[in-house]
Structure 1
Amino acid sequence: MNPKVQSILSYLGILWLVAFFAGKEQRNDLSKYHLKQGLGLLIIALIFNTIVGVVLMIIPSLGTILSAVSIIFLILMVLGIITAANEVKKPLPVIGKLFEDKFDFIDK
């Protein structure tokens, strides 16, 4: 699996695992960068969805508002895929800078 494909797969949720484990020997700086960005996006989305699930159990009438906000994660995923396909190291808007120096296990 080449680094460009790894970079694109890193934004697609559970396919992050495929990109991480299948391409260890062909990983370059670009794919490592996008693996970090994709994992950060996945973690933030899981935390947000867990909190939303709890809030919706308490206040069900907020469902439409919170579901509209969750579209932001889809937009961030598409932006990440576009930058990975263009082979550019550009952080995701709003949350990307948080994960540039995290997840050291990806560098090994």
Structure 2
Amino acid sequence: MEKVSDPGKTNAIIAYITLIGWIIALVLNNNNKTSLASFHIRQMLGIMLVGLSISIIISITGIGLLSILQIGTLILWILGLIGAINEEEKPVPVVGEHFQKWFAGL
């Protein structure tokens, strides 16, 4: 038998496509909430905030070595997107569980 796709899969994937995609996924998910989409919306919000924070710290301090952390943020984004494509509610390493707690209202 063919696997039936979760209706939230599209919204979960859209959430990982830029800030605009995240906003679209959030609005669409508010109309028809699914566990999968909500999970990935929270994950992507956290990833975006981590990336923004690192960028701000780099611009203030001028410490270019922190760019390594930006590569880590990219890796988190890739892992999150792969999870959405595979319809998994698997948190990204290190910070994913925190994102689920902190943004539980989404």
Q: If the TM-score is normalised by the length of the shorter chain, which range does it land in?
A: 0.7 to 0.9
* Cα displacement (A) at 1:44: 1.5
Query: Structure 1 length normalisation: TM-score?
Result: 0.81
Structure 2 gap ranges (5+) = 1-6
1:19-78 superposed Cα distances (whole Å, 9 cap, x missing partner): 10134223211111111111111111111111111011xxxxx42x22233111111101
CA distance in 2, matches of 1:67, 1:102: 25
| Corresponding position of 1:37 | 43
1:21 maps onto 2:27 in alignment = yes
| Corresponding position of 2:87 | 87
Query: Structure 2 length normalisation: TM-score?
Result: 0.82
Q: Which amino acid aligns with 1:10?
A: A
Matches within 5 A, 1:6-85: 6-14=11-19, 15-56=21-62, 62-63=63-64, 65-85=65-85
CA distance in 1, matches of 2:9, 2:39: 11
The alignment-based identity, stated in percent, is 32
Secondary structure at 2:101 match in 1: coil
| 8 Å CA contact 1:12, 1:77 repeated in 2 | no
* Cα displacement (A) at 1:104: 3.5
CA distance in 1, matches of 2:10, 2:40: 11
By relative contact order (CA 8 Å, sep 6+), the higher-ranking structure is 1
Q: Which amino acid aligns with 2:23?
A: L
Provide the aligned length of Structure 1 versus Structure 2.
Answer: 99
Secondary structure at 1:93 match in 2: coil
| 8 Å CA contact 1:36, 1:103 repeated in 2 | yes
